[in-house]
């Protein structure tokens, strides 16, 4: 399958996963630390099951990748934690706008560390995608800067670093699922070290109703992750894959319109979707 198709599949299922994450985190009793642990461990478990079922479990010698594994653990454990904390105290639309900076960070780090080339088309494409996301989520209300905005900005920076680091490490792995199992399990466990008392809140996510939503969310997120990194393994550049994957916001808008009847700010959404689509055309 062509790598571009894999990126769009990733964007599609990622939009579903993000909606489910918001649902799981909006409850007043939810704990970002406990959720981060349970969510990442469940995704890691799904990757383990997939690797075993497809006989693709293969762990290479990691001795030369110790620094990269430390970067991976810190980037994702802290990055996801910041994002989940942001969902608790900031508006979802504001989070989406600031999180769009992930694309910028990824492109910069990919150029600097993966030695990917920078072209005028790539610059224009990234600008249009970011403008599209901003347009979709723009509101005339005055923003009140809060900790949530700082959290999501830090989270976006760390996720960008983590994505580029993953792209580098994957060159040493034959199987994407084998690395992703590690990339989710290790940060998940580390999360609890930041807040040991959150262990008692894990049970909140293990009741029948919440657990079913969590597993569905984890499945879609795992599918989104494996498709986007398979795209990289099949020839896509990280600096191009990341901005194209941001089109997940377009799918979120479409789903919201047809299935949730979310018709507010419709002109913004149409303009934003067009801008993002134009950006993708420049990147392909």
Indicate yes or no: pTM above 0.85.
no
Q: Looking at the domain assignment, is residue 134 inside a domain?
A: no
Quick one: pLDDT at residue 140? 63
The residue among 75 and 27 whose pLDDT is bigger is: 75
Q: Looking at the domain assignment, is residue 253 inside a domain?
A: no
Taking the alpha carbons at both ends of the chain, their separation in whole angstroms is 16
List the single range of 206-210, 229-233, 259-263 with lowest mean pLDDT: 259-263
Residue 256 predicted with pLDDT over 70:
no
Q: Looking at the domain assignment, is residue 255 inside a domain?
A: no
CB atoms within 10 A of CB 235: 9
Q: Looking at the domain assignment, is residue 104 inside a domain?
A: yes
The model's pLDDT over 1-10, given as tens digits with 9 standing for 90+, comes to 688 899 989 9
Residue 173 predicted with pLDDT over 70:
yes
C-alpha–C-alpha distance, residues 182 and 177, integer Å? 9
Residue 34 predicted with pLDDT over 60:
yes
Mean of all residue pLDDT scores within the chain = 83
Q: Looking at the domain assignment, is residue 221 inside a domain?
A: yes
144 band by pLDDT with thresholds 50, 70 and 90? low
C-alpha–C-alpha distance, residues 60 and 64, integer Å? 10
Q: Looking at the domain assignment, is residue 270 inside a domain?
A: no
Per-residue pLDDT, averaged over 90-114, amounts to: 80
C-alpha–C-alpha distance, residues 199 and 183, integer Å? 21
Residue 92 predicted with pLDDT over 80:
no
For residues 175 and 57, is the Cβ–Cβ distance under 8 A?
A: yes
Q: Looking at the domain assignment, is residue 272 inside a domain?
A: no
Q: Looking at the domain assignment, is residue 229 inside a domain?
A: yes
Quick one: what percent of the chain has pLDDT higher than 70?
92
**Domain around 174:** 3-118+142-246
The model's pLDDT over 36-64, given as tens digits with 9 standing for 90+, comes to 899 999 999 999 999 999 888 888 888 88
């Amino acid at each position: 399958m062509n790598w571009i198709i894999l990126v769009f599949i990733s964007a599609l299922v990622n939009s579903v996963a993000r909606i489910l994450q918001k649902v799981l985190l909006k409850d007043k009793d939810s704990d970002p630390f406990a959720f981060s642990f349970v969510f990442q461990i469940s995704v890691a478990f799904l990757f383990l099951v997939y690797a075993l079922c497809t006989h693709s479990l293969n762990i290479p010698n990691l001795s030369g990748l110790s620094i990269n594994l430390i970067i991976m653990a810190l980037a994702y454990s802290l990055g996801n934690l910041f994002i989940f904390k942001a969902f608790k105290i900031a508006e979802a639309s504001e989070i989406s706008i600031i999180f769009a900076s992930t694309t910028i960070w990824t492109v910069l780090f990919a150029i600097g560390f993966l030695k990917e080339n920078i072209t005028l088309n790539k610059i224009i494409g990234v600008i249009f995608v970011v403008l599209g996301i901003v347009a979709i989520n723009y509101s005339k209300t005055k923003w009140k800067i809060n900790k949530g905005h700082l959290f999501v900005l830090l989270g976006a920076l760390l996720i960008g670093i983590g994505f580029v680091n993953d792209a580098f490490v994957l060159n040493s792995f034959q199987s994407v699922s084998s690395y992703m199992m590690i990339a989710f399990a290790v940060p998940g466990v580390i999360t609890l070290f930041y807040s040991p008392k959150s262990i008692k809140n894990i049970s909140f996510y293990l009741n029948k109703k919440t657990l079913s939503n969590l597993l569905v969310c984890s499945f879609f997120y795992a599918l989104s992750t494996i498709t986007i990194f398979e795209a990289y393994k099949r020839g896509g550049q990280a600096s191009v894959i990341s901005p194209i994957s941001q089109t997940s916001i377009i799918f979120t808008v479409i789903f919201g319109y047809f299935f949730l009847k979310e018709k507010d700010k419709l002109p913004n959404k149409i303009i934003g979707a067009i801008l993002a689509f134009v950006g993708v055309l420049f990147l392909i």
